[in-house]
Chains A and B, each alone.
Chain A
Amino acid sequence: MPVTRRDFIRGGVAAFTVSFTAPAFLSDIARAQGARSRSLVVVYLGGGNDALNTVVPYQDTFYYNRRPTIAVPAGQVLQIGSDSSGKALGLHPRLTGLQSIFNQGRLAIVQRTGYQNSSRSHFQGLDIWGTANPSLPTSTGWLGRYLETVPKDALSGWSTTREVPRALLSRDVSVPGIPDARGYVFASPNNAAEGLNERAAATRIASHVSVDLPHLAFVNGTAMGAFETLDRVASVAAYPGTVAYPNNGFAVALRTVAGSIVHGTGTRVYWVQTGGYDTHASQGIQGGGAYAALMGTFGDGLAAFYNDLQNQGLLSDTLVLQFSEFGRRISENGSAGTDHGAAAIMMAMGGAVRGGIYGTAPSLNPDFSNPTLENSGGDVRYETDFRSVYARVLDNWLGASSTAILGGDFRTAAPPIV
């Protein structure tokens, strides 16, 4: 049955409110007992990443024929060797930090990830990646379903966006949206003591749940989620990082995540995103321009995060998983841009990652019989089902059961990235 956000509120309110009455500081107890927790940081490139300019098949002549303006020149790519089919690959020149992590064996690139009949809609596409259910992308999120299997805690998930994405939607776990811990405070028009009175009163009022008013219960539930997370998030707010992070929203979000990991808040899943990837026009000539700026934001932010966690000795507890809702068309359009396409790449980064190149690059020959393409040679055809990457992460990193969470067995074809 399709589930909308509205249905959650109608059907799931009883369970939803229970999560807020569970002990709030389970993770503190676990930490006091010396437990270390693994975390997953999902990085979403919003808008549909032009993967062929992220990981460039720089010896494919069709790449240059079909992208006369926007192709990254072979001389500029950061070489990372060849895939198992012998196709030479190079990273976009702005990804120097990621090349270094690749060379350390801690960056995995999975080529041609996607699914059958890839959606070219941003919103349906993101819902499919979020639910891990291409035939019914209106259910709960794959990460939300994972969080249902771990001990209840108000900070078990953490979205650094203001809207909590569908991937983190669950029937009984509410994930907070905290873009920057520094703004996550409870203000008062009065002095500090009176402010505490107000907070106490607001908490008690929000804790009254009207079962016959599920939408009010939902709003009050988010207020309770705020009150239960305020103090722990405050401990993260001042985290400066051991390295200088770039000055943009993506990097601030990653520094916030690093602060949370360093302070041991016990969060298991973080969601970070950066947008601007819907590059229909003027994406940049010969490796420069707008797409290069996107790559700079992405690569520099992730490199700072990686180095910070390495300095903190926490790299082996952290896995970063990158995706986008689709790749883009192979041929550039008349506006020095690319329209919506199909399969793209995923990346994984972290201390436990088995680095390297997984899967094979497409041949970009537009011949209709080319099996690595679809849509009459217009788009890249998927080779690795994205759910098999999820399965590997769920089973081998989070210690969960991928078959239960994904509703099917995707383990056999899973690339062994971790």
Chain B
Amino acid sequence: MARSELGVEHLLRRAGFGASQDDLKAFEGASTSGVLQSLLEYERQPDDVDSKIGDPAYASINRGGGFSPNLNIDHARQRWLFRMVHSKRPLQEKMALFWHNHFATAYSKIAGIVGGPQATRMMALKLDELPGPQGQIELFRSMALGSFRDLLIEVAKDPAMLVWLDGRLNTRQRPQENFGREIMELFTFGIGHYNELDVYAAARVFTGWNLRQVNRGNDANSYYEFAFNPNQHDTSAKTFTFPIYRGGGTTIPARAAADGMQDGIDFITALATHPDTARRLARKLWDFFVSEVVAPDETTLNDAASAYLLTGTRIESLVHFMLRSRQFQNPANWHTRYSWPVEFVVRAVKEVGWTGFNIDTLRAPLTTMGQTLFEPPDVNGWELGSGWFTTGGMLARMNFAAMLAGNQRLNLVRDLAGSGSSAQSVLDFFLDRLTPAPFDQSARSELLTYLETGGAWTGSDAQLRTKAAGLARLIVGSGQYQIV
């Protein structure tokens, strides 16, 4: 189909991972605002994507030794990538990816402490598939657009986080500063709003927020869960340099050990409702959804922050604000984000095709591009924006494009039927299907020159097979395709 609805395509690239041919059919004739509504209200869409795993109409997965996405991290990676490609709720997966970067937790440290299967449970266990609490990524999916305060509380109790930032070891005698520092520096208002005394106090707030193992020794049913240990909680008062309570009080009062968890709830509530947290989240979501080239003006940032604070820290309010903003709609801001490697490969699969394509082949290229799911480089997450684009990372993208184009060669030639009569019609077909940022006239003529390099255009089968794959790799590997 011809892609006349450029606004819809923009929306699907930003709020999702781009559009497959099927997605475009489903949205045919829909207005931009109608598509936006359906993306935002994803709870009304079926949550059945996992049931499609193994269905030959979808991308395949690598089942070596059975498929165990709750116990084997590589299988968990496949399941998540499969969801991104095929979910009817793309914004939910997109937000899960956002939170995975925001609360960046790496599997390998956890696996080094509790072993691979338990670490996979902590990262990715889907509720009720095995005993134990849901994995971190499921937490992000389930609370993706809800209250940030509630999400922070759950993150503070999340087994993966308790191992990752050592909260499991945070005790009264010797407080552990790791989580207390990072919740201020990275998860909420950021550096410049606290000092070392606040770090000490924050560590004491979370003393006793530990972990316990259930059914130890029974591999199939054993799991870890959060446990508040009153005996390890520091019951004395904690004073901060910023307000904790509405009236401006900066001291969390001394409390009985049994009530000690309230310290953390008070502290998290203070952080989540701090105006600088609101602004920081607004800025991160602006960069994620609207533009990495143009900064938001103060009014926009303040309006977004107000919406968040007025709705009791609901993330939904910020996401709505961004996707409905006039800056989002403005074509000048289209193609002004640097795609993350995961966004790039998922979109390429959706646009190029997945007939006979194995999702597992995404894993190695993603690592070379610098983004292994469940393995951010550190607690600060990935280096976003232009930071993705080193020469090695760009080569990896070009080479992935070559691999995918070769893999889908026959699929592309088949879909090209009727458009192969001239080099120009072949180019038009691919530019329509692959939705890169506009190529200028000279770049278009380079692509045409490529199609006729080695012989004038005849449309022979051999020429189509070679040049369809070659052209698809050039477009998907181009700079124009990397910016979304």
Q: Which residues of A contact B (CB under 8 A)?
A: 5-6, 8-10, 46-47, 120-124, 159, 162-164, 174-179, 183-190, 193-194, 197-198, 200-202, 204-206, 208, 210, 213-216, 218-220, 222-223, 225-226, 229-230, 275, 278, 280-282, 332-335, 337, 339-340, 375
Does B470 contact A215, Cβ atoms closer than 8 Å?
Answer: no
Q: Contact check: which of A46, A202, A375 meets B477 at CB < 8 Å?
A: A202
Does B477 contact A185, Cβ atoms closer than 8 Å?
Answer: no
Q: What number of residue pairs across chains A and B have CB atoms under 8 A from each other?
A: 204
Question: How far is it, in angstroms, between the C-alpha of A187 and the C-alpha of B474 when the chains are bound?
Answer: 12
Q: Which of A178, A183, A185, A198 has the most CB of B within 10 A?
A: A198
Does A194 contact B470, Cβ atoms closer than 8 Å?
Answer: yes
Does B178 contact A208, Cβ atoms closer than 8 Å?
Answer: no
Does A186 contact B387, Cβ atoms closer than 8 Å?
Answer: no
Q: Contact check: which of B169, B450, B470, B480 meets A189 at CB < 8 Å?
A: B470
Q: Contact check: which of A6, A186, A335 meets B395 at CB < 8 Å?
A: A186
Q: Which of B113, B389, B405, B453 has the most CB of A within 10 A?
A: B389
Q: Contact check: which of B176, B391, B483 meets A335 at CB < 8 Å?
A: B176
Contacts of A121 in B (CB 8 A): 181, 185, 191
Question: How far is it, in angstroms, between the C-alpha of A122 and the C-alpha of B335 when the chains are bound?
Answer: 32
Asked if B177 is at the interface of the complex by the 8 Å CB criterion, the answer is yes
Does B176 contact A210, Cβ atoms closer than 8 Å?
Answer: no
Does B474 contact A201, Cβ atoms closer than 8 Å?
Answer: yes
Q: Contact check: which of B383, B402, B405, B470 meets A163 at CB < 8 Å?
A: B383
Least CB separation from A332: chain B residue: B174
Q: List 8 A-B contacts (CB under 8 A).
A: A120-B199, A163-B370, A186-B399, A190-B466, A201-B453, A216-B483, A226-B392, A230-B395
Given contacts A178-B392, A223-B479, A226-B391, contact A189 B368 (CB under 8 A): no
Does A205 contact B390, Cβ atoms closer than 8 Å?
Answer: no
Interface stretch, picked from B81-89, B246-254, B272-280, B435-443, is B435-443
Given contacts A5-B385, A198-B450, A334-B169, contact A219 B338 (CB under 8 A): yes
Given contacts A163-B383, A333-B176, A340-B177, contact A177 B390 (CB under 8 A): yes
Q: Contact check: which of B166, B175, B480 meets A281 at CB < 8 Å?
A: B166
Question: How far is it, in angstroms, between the C-alpha of A289 and the C-alpha of B393 when the chains are bound?
Answer: 34
Does B292 contact A122, Cβ atoms closer than 8 Å?
Answer: no
Q: Which residues of B contact A (CB under 8 A)?
A: 113, 165-166, 169-171, 173-178, 181, 185, 191, 196, 199, 292-293, 295, 335-336, 338, 368-370, 377-380, 383, 385-387, 389-396, 398-399, 402-403, 405-407, 409, 437, 439-440, 442-443, 446-447, 449-450, 453-454, 466, 469-470, 473-474, 477-480, 482-483
Does B377 contact A163, Cβ atoms closer than 8 Å?
Answer: yes
Does B390 contact A201, Cβ atoms closer than 8 Å?
Answer: no
Contacts of B380 in A (CB 8 A): 122-123
Question: How far is it, in angstroms, between the C-alpha of A281 and the C-alpha of B396 when the chains are bound?
Answer: 36
Q: 4 closest A-B pairs (Cβ-Cβ)?
A: A334-B174, A189-B406, A177-B390, A335-B169
Given contacts A190-B469, A215-B483, A334-B174, contact A178 B386 (CB under 8 A): no
Contacts of B177 in A (CB 8 A): 280, 333, 339-340
Q: Contact check: which of A210, A215, A375 meets B196 at CB < 8 Å?
A: A375
Question: How far is it, in angstroms, between the C-alpha of A186 and the C-alpha of B394 when the chains are bound?
Answer: 10
Does A162 contact B370, Cβ atoms closer than 8 Å?
Answer: yes
Contacts of B176 in A (CB 8 A): 280-281, 333-335, 337, 339
Contacts of A226 in B (CB 8 A): 391-392, 394-395, 398
Given contacts A123-B380, A198-B450, contact A6 B482 (CB under 8 A): no
Contacts of A174 in B (CB 8 A): 391
Does A218 contact B389, Cβ atoms closer than 8 Å?
Answer: yes
Given contacts A177-B393, A201-B450, A201-B453, contact A183 B478 (CB under 8 A): no
Contacts of A278 in B (CB 8 A): 178, 378
Q: Closest CB-CB distance, A135 to chain B, in whole Å?
A: 13
Does A189 contact B446, Cβ atoms closer than 8 Å?
Answer: no
Question: How far is it, in angstroms, between the C-alpha of A256 and the C-alpha of B312 when the chains are bound?
Answer: 53
Q: Closest CB-CB distance, B389 to chain A, in whole Å?
A: 4
Does A6 contact B386, Cβ atoms closer than 8 Å?
Answer: yes
Question: How far is it, in angstroms, between the C-alpha of A46 and the C-alpha of B106 when the chains are bound?
Answer: 15
Contacts of A202 in B (CB 8 A): 398, 474, 477-478
Contacts of A275 in B (CB 8 A): 377-378
Question: How far is it, in angstroms, between the C-alpha of A335 and the C-alpha of B178 when the chains are bound?
Answer: 11
Does A333 contact B450, Cβ atoms closer than 8 Å?
Answer: no
Least CB separation from A220: chain B residue: B479
Does A215 contact B292, Cβ atoms closer than 8 Å?
Answer: yes
Contacts of B409 in A (CB 8 A): 189
Least CB separation from B186: chain A residue: A123
Contacts of B405 in A (CB 8 A): 189
Does A120 contact B171, Cβ atoms closer than 8 Å?
Answer: no
Contacts of A9 in B (CB 8 A): 293, 386
Does B390 contact A162, Cβ atoms closer than 8 Å?
Answer: yes
Question: How far is it, in angstroms, between the C-alpha of A337 and the C-alpha of B379 when the chains are bound?
Answer: 18
Question: How far is it, in angstroms, between the C-alpha of A200 and the C-alpha of B292 when the chains are bound?
Answer: 30
Question: How far is it, in angstroms, between the C-alpha of A213 and the C-alpha of B477 when the chains are bound?
Answer: 18
Question: How far is it, in angstroms, between the C-alpha of A215 and the C-alpha of B482 when the chains are bound?
Answer: 10
Q: Closest CB-CB distance, A378 to chain B, in whole Å?
A: 9
Least CB separation from B406: chain A residue: A189
Given contacts A202-B478, A334-B175, A334-B176, contact A6 B293 (CB under 8 A): yes
Question: How far is it, in angstroms, between the C-alpha of A141 and the C-alpha of B378 when the chains are bound?
Answer: 21
Does B402 contact A337, Cβ atoms closer than 8 Å?
Answer: no
